[in-house]
């Protein structure tokens, strides 16, 4: 319970502090930084639910990010659906794709590296298909028309979009805190620790993993939909590129795998590291990924439970003293 309280306090404190930032500064650089951090935090939450709670490590969450982004964009541009409804539609499509990939993978009892590679393959197949399909804009990508109105999910103020993104992160963080205290969360933990033992105890492992995969994909799809609405441009390498799979994976590991606060902490840390690398090393291609890899190695070597896990360990040590 002490660990859960710390995660709750850390989450609430971070979210409350982030909520007042636009009241302190209206600098575009700061708000752009924070909007992208919230998008990354959402994707990290999606990956963390599947890997951190259920123990199913995916290398292809770009598939769900891209489906959410392209799904919402195509629904509003090709079908004329209201952007808010299209955004929700993109989330639902991502969830459906996650359920299909999960059903195919888990029905074949793929685990560990086999499951990871299959998800990576699905993401790459979708990237190639989108890049070669005229309806999605092909290699040229999609440009969502600029029409700054609330009804179009476009705002004159970056702060408005930031608060919406922050509200979604807060909602998902709350959902993770709730899941930790439900039977579903207990089932996921049992599957993560020992899948065969969980099955022997009566847990419907296949059904629970499908639920986790579907919800994970939907959350990551929401991140993709936000990205499309904020930047108003997509191409296959943005929507389905390996960059989002890498960052969605690294953020919760650094922040704290299997914790509600970990994805947000990790997303902010990665964004700050990325900005620092640009300042120090300039625009050297790939320098941020090199630093992400180095940070990941250091965290795994010296702080395996991430920042939040380390804080929880220290809190328990103090409580025990």
Tokens for 35? Answer: 């909007």
Query: What is the pLDDT of the chain when averaged over all its residues?
Result: 90
- Going from the C-alpha of 226 to that of each of 43, 108, 214, 245, the distances in angstroms are 11, 33, 19, 16
Query: What is the rounded distance in angstroms from the CA atom of residue 25 to the CA atom of residue 278?
Result: 22
pLDDT tens, residue by residue, 98-157: 999 999 999 999 988 999 999 999 999 999 999 999 999 998 999 999 999 999 999 998
What is the residue extent of each domain of the chain? 2-320
Closest CA to 240 of 94, 103, 102, 101: 94
CATH of domain 2-320: 1.10.3470
Closest CA to 8 of 272, 279, 311: 311
Q: β-strands 233-234, 142-143: how paired? A: antiparallel
Partners of residue 234 on adjacent β-strands: 142
| Phi/psi at 287 (5° precision) | -65, -35
Tokens for 41? Answer: 């935090």
Question: Which residues of the chain, if any, have pLDDT below 70?
Answer: 1-4, 278-289, 292, 315-321
Burial 293-318 (b: 16+ CB within 10 A, else e): eebbeebeeeeebbbbbebbeeeeee
What is the CA 276 to chain-centroid distance, rounded? 22
- Going from the C-alpha of 190 to that of each of 51, 187, 200, 201, 309, the distances in angstroms are 13, 5, 11, 9, 19
Query: What is the rounded distance in angstroms from the CA atom of residue 116 to the CA atom of residue 242?
Result: 13
pLDDT tens, residue by residue, 46-57: 999 999 999 999
Closest CA to 34 of 48, 46, 22: 22
Q: Is 152 exposed, middle or buried (0-12, 13-18, 19+ CB in 10 A)?
A: middle
Partners of residue 142 on adjacent β-strands: 234
Closest CA to 262 of 223, 305, 308, 293: 308
Q: Which residue shows structure tokens 């909602």?
A: 171
Closest CA to 140 of 238, 35, 227: 238
**DSSP string over 243-266:** HHHHHHHHHHHHH-TT-SSHHHHH
DSSP classification of residue 234: E
Tokens for 154? Answer: 């476009």
Task: Kindly report the length of the chain.
Answer: 321
Q: What is the pTM of this model?
A: 0.93
pLDDT of res. 297:
79
DSSP classification of residue 305: T
pLDDT of res. 321:
46
pLDDT of res. 276:
75
């Amino acid at each position: 319970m002490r660990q859960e309280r710390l995660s709750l306090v850390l989450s609430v404190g971070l979210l409350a502090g982030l909520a007042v930032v636009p009241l302190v500064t209206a600098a575009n650089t700061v708000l752009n930084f924070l909007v992208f951090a919230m998008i990354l935090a959402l994707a990290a939450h999606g990956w963390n639910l599947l890997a951190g709670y259920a123990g199913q490590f995916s290398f292809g969450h770009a598939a769900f990010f891209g489906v959410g982004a392209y799904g919402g964009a195509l629904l509003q541009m090709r079908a004329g659906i209201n952007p808010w409804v299209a955004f929700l539609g993109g989330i639902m499509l991502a969830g459906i794709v996650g359920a299909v990939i999960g059903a195919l993978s888990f029905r074949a009892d793929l685990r560990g590296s086999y499951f990871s590679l299959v998800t990576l393959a699905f993401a790459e197949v979708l990237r190639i298909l989108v890049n070669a399909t005229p309806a999605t804009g092909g290699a040229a990508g999609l440009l969502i028309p600029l029409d700054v109105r609330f009804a179009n999910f476009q705002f004159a103020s970056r702060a408005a979009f930031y608060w919406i993104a922050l509200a979604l992160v807060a909602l998902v963080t709350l959902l993770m805190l709730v899941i930790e205290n439900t039977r579903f969360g207990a089932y996921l933990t049992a599957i993560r620790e020992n899948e065969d033992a969980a099955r022997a105890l009566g847990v419907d492992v296949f059904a629970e993993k499908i639920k986790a995969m579907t919800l994970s994909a939907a959350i990551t799809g929401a991140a993709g939909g936000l990205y499309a609405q904020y930047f108003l441009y997509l191409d296959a390498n943005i929507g389905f590129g390996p960059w989002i799979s890498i960052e969605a994976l690294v953020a919760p590991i650094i922040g704290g795998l299997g914790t509600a606060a970990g994805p947000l902490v990790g997303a902010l840390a990665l964004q700050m590291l990325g900005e620092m690398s640009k300042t120090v090393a300039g625009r050297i291609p790939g320098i941020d990924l090199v630093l992400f890899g180095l940070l990941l190695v250091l965290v795994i070597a010296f702080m395996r439970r991430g920042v939040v896990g380390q804080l929880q360990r220290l809190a328990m040590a103090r409580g025990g003293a």
